[in-house]
């Protein structure tokens, strides 16, 4: 019997892709459609010893892809939930709360037309949902009156699970999407030809490159809490107001943890 059926529903996994040893994506079909906005998150869980172990995950898919819903995971070996989600494959089920949550959506309050989307590794998930939604709308003739600049940082190229998709979308729709992947350990990947440095190292540079002035730009920070804290400081010093900075913190790092 499903624990707390008033809160949860089952999601049947219909697709899985492993990007590396500790990064993977899944798509599932919930019992009831999940009505959400790009950038929001869903709370996933598994039953364990008569209780539900759960955690919030940003939704990768666009609402326009319903009924399927997609998530991007990073395995945390000592974590409470990801080691239990990791073995799941096509045909298996997991739990999901019936209501999505989150305010990390494209800014519709300030009137800003430019959006600077900064992330680390899995923090790109809500930005993929935003890009997919605008891409579908654009393909149907509704050209977005917006500019999305996605700056994604990782240690190694293999952590850019959605790089090809974002690069292809940016090439197809150069008027409203720019994508910049950057790695922090280029000396370990000598064949990497792209940008290098942490996200914080490049925020100011790409503000200049794409003319992301605070008067018409909203900044978004998603992923590692240290990047978010540093990024907030950089944006504030550049003139961004509190109302023009949105953040989504993914986890609390262990003491002494590196990128």
pLDDT, residue 226, reads 95
pLDDT, residue 259, reads 37
pLDDT, residue 1, reads 55
- Give pLDDT tens digits along the chain (259 positions): 567 788 999 999 999 999 999 999 999 999 999 999 999 999 999 998 889 999 999 999 999 999 999 999 999 999 999 999 999 999 999 999 999 999 999 999 999 999 999 999 999 999 999 999 999 999 998 888 999 999 999 999 999 999 999 999 999 999 999 999 999 999 999 999 999 999 999 999 999 999 999 999 999 999 999 999 999 999 999 999 999 999 999 866 555 444 3
Q: Which pTM value belongs to this model? A: 0.95
Secondary structure (H, E, C), the chain: CCCCCCCEEEEEEEEEEECCCCEEEEEEEECCCCCCCCCCEEEEEEEECCEEEEEEEECCCCHHHCCCEEEEEECCCCCCCHHHHCCCCCCCEEEEECCCECCCCCCCCCCCCEEEEEEEHHHHHHHHHHHHHHHHHHHCCCCCCCEEEEEEEECCHHHCCCHHHHHHHHHHCCCCEEEEEEECCHHHCCCCCCEECCHHHHHHHHHHHCCCCCCCEEEEEEECHHHHHHHHHHHHHCCCCHHHEEEEECCCCCCCCCC
């Amino acid at each position: 019997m499903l624990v707390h059926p008033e809160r949860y529903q089952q999601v049947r996994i219909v697709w899985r892709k492993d990007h590396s040893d500790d990064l993977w994506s899944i798509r599932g079909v919930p019992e009831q459609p999940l009505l959400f906005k790009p950038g929001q998150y869903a709370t996933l869980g598994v039953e364990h010893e008569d209780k539900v172990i759960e955690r919030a995950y940003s939704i990768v898919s666009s609402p326009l892809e319903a009924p399927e819903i997609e998530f991007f995971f990073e395995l945390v070996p000592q974590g409470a939930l990801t080691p239990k989600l990791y073995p799941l494959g096509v045909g298996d089920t997991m739990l999901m709360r019936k209501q999505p949550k989150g305010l990390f959506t494209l800014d519709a309050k300030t009137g800003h037309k430019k959006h600077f989307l900064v992330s680390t590794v899995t923090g790109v998930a809500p930005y993929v949902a935003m890009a997919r939604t605008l891409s579908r709308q654009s393909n149907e003739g509704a050209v977005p009156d917006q500019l999305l600049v996605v700056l994604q940082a990782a240690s190694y190229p293999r952590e850019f699970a959605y790089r090809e998709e974002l690069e292809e979308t940016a090439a197809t729709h150069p008027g409203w999407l720019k994508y910049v992947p950057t790695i922090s350990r280029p000396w370990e990947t000598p064949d990497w030809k792209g940008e290098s440095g942490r996200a914080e190292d490049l925020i100011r540079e790409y503000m200049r490159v794409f003319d992301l002035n605070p008067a018409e730009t909203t900044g978004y920070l998603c992923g590692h809490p240290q990047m978010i804290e540093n990024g907030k400081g950089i944006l504030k010093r550049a003139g961004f107001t509190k109302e023009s900075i949105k953040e989504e913190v993914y986890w609390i790092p262990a003491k002494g943890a590196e990128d």
